[in-house]
């Protein structure tokens, strides 16, 4: 293992293309690093390499991986038409992430997917997405608010007898939400472990009790997140430290 007592967590990065007066840049919200450090780990940021060999070499260095949020996957690559609401993820990141997620699953590496990261795990396992919830699920509650500077929060119902219920210890939580897409069909390796009151899937987890693989549609790394969210990161890091993916709820 790369670390004897403090897990090293890989974190994928976004990028902005070069502009007239600015070079191309890699970037990541600070909240991901802060959450990993607060939970007792060390983040190691991975640029969008886009090559299997280099991705494999990077994964050899880490104990687990945090798949970060971002803009939207290209629906045309998923066999769906383009929609005016879609804000496309940078193509280089999308292609690199696709290779990355495949390798994480093949290794059964402990993984936590946030927002887009959850959707990528689901797609890699044969699942599908709603392109735009307000149209695809007309009775859905608001899952984002582009008109306000305040964080949008809503209720999530944690499903009983799931790992997520063990982690949070409650059946209802309020989360920081900023998404207009969502899971339609759940991928083969996963089950639903949380929903919004409108039925929109908010979290998935693997069936395999020996592998920590979980995705949440909300943003537990956000400044507006509740103190409970640290428990999610702590359990993820415990699984990474053990290597097997198993975990125990922190005392």
Domains and CATH numbers, the chain: 8-242 (3.40.50.880)
| CA 227 vs CA 28, 88, 196, 224: distances in Å | 22, 32, 20, 9
Backbone φ, ψ for residue 130 (5° rounding):
-80, 135
Contacts (Cβ under 8 Å, ≥6 apart) of 98:
120, 124
Distance from C-alpha of 106 to C-alpha of 119, rounded to nearest angstrom: 17
| CA 160 vs CA 141, 198, 226: distances in Å | 22, 17, 21
Is the separation of the CB atoms in 89 and 116 below 8 Å? yes
At 175 the three-state DSSP class reads strand
Q: Which pLDDT score, from 0 to 100, does residue 171 have?
A: 94
Tokens of 131: 């392109």
Is the separation of the CB atoms in 174 and 193 below 8 Å? no
Q: Which pLDDT score, from 0 to 100, does residue 4 have?
A: 60
Q: Which pLDDT score, from 0 to 100, does residue 224 have?
A: 81
Tokens of 48: 């969008």
Tokens of 239: 């699984």
Q: What stretches in the chain show pLDDT beneath 50?
A: 1, 244-247, 250-251
Q: Is the dihedral of CA 214, 8, 174, 162 positive or negative?
A: positive
Terminal CA-CA length for the chain: 25
Q: Which pLDDT score, from 0 to 100, does residue 2 have?
A: 55
Distance from C-alpha of 131 to C-alpha of 135, rounded to nearest angstrom: 9
Residue closest to 59 by CA, chosen among 70, 49, 71, 69? 49
Question: How many degrees, rounded to 5, is the angle at CA 66 between CA 63 and CA 69?
Answer: 170
Q: Specify whether the backbone of 44 is left (phi greater than 0), alpha (psi in -120 to 50) or beta.
A: beta
- Output the pTM of the full model: 0.92
Contacts (Cβ under 8 Å, ≥6 apart) of 101:
67, 120, 121, 124
Q: Which pLDDT score, from 0 to 100, does residue 191 have?
A: 98
Residue closest to 127 by CA, chosen among 52, 180, 51, 201? 201
Q: Which pLDDT score, from 0 to 100, does residue 3 have?
A: 53
Please report where in the chains the tokens 């990028």 appear, as a residue: 15
Is the separation of the CB atoms in 108 and 208 below 8 Å? yes
Burial 145-184 (b: 16+ CB within 10 A, else e): eeeeeeebbbebebbeebbbeebbeeeebebbbbbbbbbb
């Amino acid at each position: 293992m790369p670390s004897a007592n403090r897990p090293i967590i890989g974190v994928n990065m976004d990028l902005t293309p070069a502009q007239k007066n600015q070079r191309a840049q890699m970037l990541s919200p600070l909240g991901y690093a802060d959450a990993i450090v607060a939970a007792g780990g060390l983040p190691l940021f991975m640029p969008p390499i886009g090559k299997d060999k280099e991705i494999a070499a990077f994964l050899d260095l880490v104990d687990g991986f945090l798949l970060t949020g971002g803009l939207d996957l290209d629906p045309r690559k998923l066999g769906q038409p383009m929609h005016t609401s879609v804000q496309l993820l940078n193509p280089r990141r999308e292609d690199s992430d696709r290779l990355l997620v495949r390798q994480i699953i093949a290794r059964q590496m402990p993984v936590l997917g946030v927002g887009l990261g959850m959707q990528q795990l689901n797609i890699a396992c044969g699942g599908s997405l709603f392109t735009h919830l307000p149209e695809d699920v007309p009775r859905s509650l608001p899952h984002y608010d582009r008109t306000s500077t305040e964080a949008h929060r809503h209720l999530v119902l944690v499903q009983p007898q799931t790992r997520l219920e063990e982690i949070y210890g409650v059946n209802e939580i309020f989360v920081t939400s900023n998404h207009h897409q969502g899971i339609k069909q759940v991928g083969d390796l996963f089950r639903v472990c949380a929903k919004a009151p409108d039925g929109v899937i908010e979290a998935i987890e693997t069936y395999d009790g020996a592998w920590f693989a979980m995705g949440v549609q909300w943003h537990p790394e956000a400044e507006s997140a509740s103190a409970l969210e640290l428990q999610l990161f702590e359990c993820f890091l415990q699984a990474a430290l053990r290597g097997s993916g198993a975990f125990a709820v922190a005392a």
